Amino acid sequence: MRQATSDLTPGYDAELRRHNQALRRACGLQVHDHVLDIGCGAGQTTREAARTVQAGSALGVDVSAPAIERAREFARAEGLRNVTFEHADAQVHRFPGEHFDLAISRFGTMFFDDAVAAFANIRRALRPAGRLVMMVWQSHERNEWDVAIHQSLAGLEGPVAADSVGPDPFSLADPQTVKQILGDAGFADVAFTDVREPVYYGPDVAAALEWVRGFTCTSEVLKRLDPAAAAHAIGRLSETLSAHLSDDGVWFDSRAWIVTARRH
C-alpha cells in the first residue's frame, strides 16, 4: 500500500474526508442492512455504516491487526453495539454465506494477490442481488498527488524510482479490467461513477511532509538514497507541498471511481 502506517492515524480519515462523503452517498444504506466493510483500516467507514443501519449490523475486516484493534477501541468509545471488527484477509476469510446486503470499501480492494478469487469470496458472502460499492483510484496520471510525489522523488534514481515499490494502488483503475474481474467473480451490472475530490495532507507544509514521508513509496525510495540525495529529495518534496498550500491546508487533486455491482 502507499501508506506505511496501515491507516492507524486519524490523518488517513482526514486525507479522504471528501471521498468519504461521496462513498457514503453512493452506498444508500437502509436501516436493516447488514454491511461488510473490506479493508476497513481504523474503521471510520464501518462505524459510520453501523450508525445508519441501526436495526442491522456492520462488520469491518482488515489485514492489519493494529488497525483492527484501533477500530475496536473507537467503536467501544462511541458505544456502538452493532459493529464488529475482524483481523482477516477478505480474499480467503470464511465469511458467513449469503449474509450481507452490501459490501463496501474505501480504497481497500486494490491489493489482492488474486482479485478474481477475492471478489468471488466477497460475492459468496452477499445475499442474492446483494450490492458491492467500492472506491478505487483512477490511473496514476489522473492523480496529481502521485504524479507530484514521483516527480519530487525522481532525483538521482531516475523518474521511475518509486514505480516498483510495493503493491499497485492503481490496479483497479481501468474500467474494462474491473468489469472483467468482477464478471469472472460472479457480479453483474458493473457501473462507474467519476469522483474528482482533493486529498488533504495536513494544515501546513511540515505536517504534510511528515504525512507523505509515511507513504511506502516515499519511505522506501528515501532509504535507497545516500544522505545528501535524500536531503535533496526531501527539499523537493517540501517545495511541491508548499506550492499546494492554501488557507485551509495542503491539498492535491485526485480522481477516483466509485464502482457498483450486484451479485448474480
**In this predicted model, which residue has the larger pLDDT, 10 or 187?**
187
8 vs 173, which has greater pLDDT? Answer: 173
Start-to-end CA distance of the chain, whole Å, equals 30
Q: What is the model's pTM?
A: 0.91
Question: What is residue 94's predicted lDDT score, i.e. its pLDDT?
Answer: 97
Residue 116 CA to residue 2 CA, distance in Å, equals 22
Question: 46 vs 165, which has greater pLDDT?
Answer: 46
Q: Averaged over 42-68, what is the pLDDT?
A: 97
Which pLDDT band, with edges at 50, 70 and 90, does 4 fall under? very low
- DSSP-assigned states of every residue in 146-189: HHHHHHHH-GGG-TTTTTTSSS-TTTT--HHHHHHHHHHTTEEE
C-alpha cell at 55: 436495526
CATH code: domain 10-263 is 3.40.50.150
**What mean pLDDT value characterizes the chain?**
91
- Asked if the model's pLDDT at residue 7 lies above 80, the reply is no
Pairing of strands 126-137, 187-195: unpaired
What pLDDT does 12 receive? 84
Measure the CA–CA gap between 15 and 198, rounded to whole angstroms.
Answer: 9
Q: Identify which of 72, 84, 86, 34 has the alpha carbon closest to the alpha carbon of residue 55.
A: 34
β pairing state of 256-263 and 249-252: unpaired
pLDDT tops 60 at residue 10: no
Burial class (CB in 10 A: 0-12, 13-18, 19+), 94: exposed
Per residue in 106-126, pLDDT (tens digit) is 999 999 999 999 999 999 999
Cell reading at 124: 459468496
Alpha-carbon distance of 214 to 120, in angstroms, equals 32
| Domains in the chain: boundaries | 10-263
pLDDT at residue 247 is higher than 50: yes
Q: Alpha-carbon distance 193 to 247, whole Å?
A: 30
Place 171 in a pLDDT band, splitting at 50, 70 and 90: very high
pLDDT digits (tens, 9 = 90+) for 204-235: 999 999 999 998 889 888 998 889 989 999 99
Biggest distance spanned by C-alpha atoms of the chain: 58
**pLDDT over 60 at 103, yes or no:** yes
SS (H, E, C) 75-131: HHHHCCCCEEEEECCCCCCCCCCCCEEEEEEECCCCCCCCHHHHHHHHHHHEEEEEE
